[in-house]
Amino acid sequence: MIASVTLPRTIEMGGGAIKQLPQMVKNLAASRVLIVTDPTMVQLGYVDTLQSILHNADIHADVYSDTIPEPTSSSIDALVEAARQDDFDCLVALGGGSAIDSAKAASILLAFGGKMRDYKVPRMVNESGIPLIAVPTTAGTGSEVTRFTVITDDETDEKMLCVGLSFAPVAAIVDYELTLSVPARITADTGIDALTHAIEAYVSKKATPFSDYHALEAMRLLAPNLRRVFHDGRDVAAREAMMQGATLAGLAFSNASVALVHGMSRPIGAFFHVPHGLSNAMLLPTITAFSVEAAEHRYADCARAMAVASDDDSDSLACQQLVDELVKLNQELGVPTLAEFGVSASHFDQVLDTMIDQAIASGSPANNPRVPSPQQMAALYQQLWT
C-alpha cells in the first residue's frame, strides 16, 4: 500500500515559538509580509507583537484584520482585493481556523485568480500560491498543517471544502501561549473539533499507519486535557497538551481525511451559522453510536487511547464506553442542542434534503466505516432534535 503524506516544510512548536517567525520568513527568501488576521487578534495585542518582531528583523509587515469567523467567498474577495494593493511575497495567518483558511484561499486566488468555487472538491488544487506561514491561536482545527480550506459560498450557502497541496501552509508556528486568552466556550468547541479530527482520521477508510500514529497520540493528549482547559483556561500544561494534540490531529486527518461527522457538520454550519467545532460536537455522539458496528476494533482503540476503556474490556464494551464518554463530555462542556442554539425546526426541515446532498457531495461521508443511505442520514440529522 502506498500512503501519500503532506506536511508543512517546517513546524516550530512550543511556548515562545513565535519568536522564530522572522527566520522563517527569511528562509523563504521573502521580505514583504501581509499578516492576515481578525479584529480580536488586534485587540489582544498579538498583531502588534508579531509586527514588532518582524520590523525588528527589518521585514516589512502590513496587516489585514478584517477576516471573519467561518469565512465566506465575499470575505475572501475583500481580502484578495486589499492584498493586491501591494506586492506581498509571504502571507502570515494569525488566528483560529477562520483566519488561516482565509489566508490559504487568498494565497491561491492572488496567484491564479478566479473565485473560490472554482477550487472546490472534486478539483484537486496542487499549484503553488503565495507562501503561507500559519500561526494558530486556537487548539482546534489543525488548519496550520492541513491541505484543506473551508469557505462558504454566499450565493448558495454551501460550505465548500477545497483540497490539495496548495492549501498546506509552507510553515507553521504552534505556540500554545497564544491560546491562553481563548474564552471557555470557544475552548470547548475547538477542543472537541480537534478530538473529532483524531477519531475520524483513525476510523476513516483512508487511514494509514502514518495517520493512525498521529491520531492515537492526539487522542492521548486531547482527551484528558479538554475538561481541564474548559474549567481553567490558565492551566498552562493542559493548554500545551491541547495545542500539541490539535496539531497532531491535523496531521492525521489531513492525510486520512475526515468522515461522516464533518460531512454532516458543514451544512449545519453553513445554513444555521453554528460554529464549526460546535456542530461537530452536536453530531459526534450520535454518529459514533451509528458507526461503531462497522469498525468495532478501531473505535475500541479510540476508547483506550482516550483512557475511557482498558485493555481488558471487550471491544464492544469499549465502544459503549466511548459513546457514553462523548455524551458526558458534551454535557460537561455545555454543548447546546440545535433547539437550544436557536435553530428553527421548520427551517431545518426545509433545507434537510439540500444538507444531505451537500454532505454527500463533499465526499467525507464516504470515508466513514458505515456509510448511511440518504434516508439514514435524514434520520441521523433528525436525532439531533431528541
Nearest-angstrom CA–CA distance, 268 and 348: 9
User: Which residue in the set 17, 25, 95, 299 belongs to the binding site for ligand NAD (CB under 6 A)?
Assistant: 95
Exposure string of 315-348, with b = 16+ CB inside 10 Å and e = fewer, is beebbbbbbebbbebbeebebeebeebebeeeeb
Q: Is 70 in the site for ligand NAD (CB under 6 A)?
A: yes
Residues that contact ligand NAD, how many (by CB under 6 A): 30
Residue 288 CB, nearest approach to ligand NAD (Å):
18
The contact mask relative to ligand NAD for 35-64 (x = CB under 6 A, - = no) is: ---x-x---x--------------------
The contact mask relative to ligand NAD for 145-164 (x = CB under 6 A, - = no) is: -x-xxx--------------
User: Which residue in the set 8, 131, 140, 263 belongs to the binding site for ligand NAD (CB under 6 A)?
Assistant: 140
The contact mask relative to ligand NAD for 178-217 (x = CB under 6 A, - = no) is: xx-xx---x---x--x------------------------
Residue span binding ligand NAD (CB under 6 A) among the ranges 26-34, 177-185, 293-301, 334-342: 177-185
- Crossing angle of helices 184-203 and 276-291, in 10° steps, is 40
What values do phi and psi take at 175, rounded to 5?
Answer: -115, 105
Residue span binding ligand NAD (CB under 6 A) among the ranges 84-92, 97-105, 221-229, 346-354: 97-105
Query: Measured in Å, how far apart are the chain's first and last C-alpha atoms?
Result: 42
The grid coordinates listed for 75 are: 470575505
Cis amide prior to 285 (ω within 30 degrees): no
Candidates 325, 236, 347, 272; CA nearest to 70 is: 272
Q: Are 208 and 3 in contact (CB under 8 A)?
A: yes
Pick the closer one to ligand NAD by CB: 68 or 317: 68
Chain residues 262-321 in contact with ligand NAD, contact rule CB under 6 A: 276-277
Give the CA radius of gyration of the chain: 20
**What residues line the site for ligand NAD (CB under 6 A)?**
38, 40, 44, 69-70, 95-99, 101, 137-138, 140-143, 146, 148-150, 178-179, 181-182, 186, 190, 193, 276-277
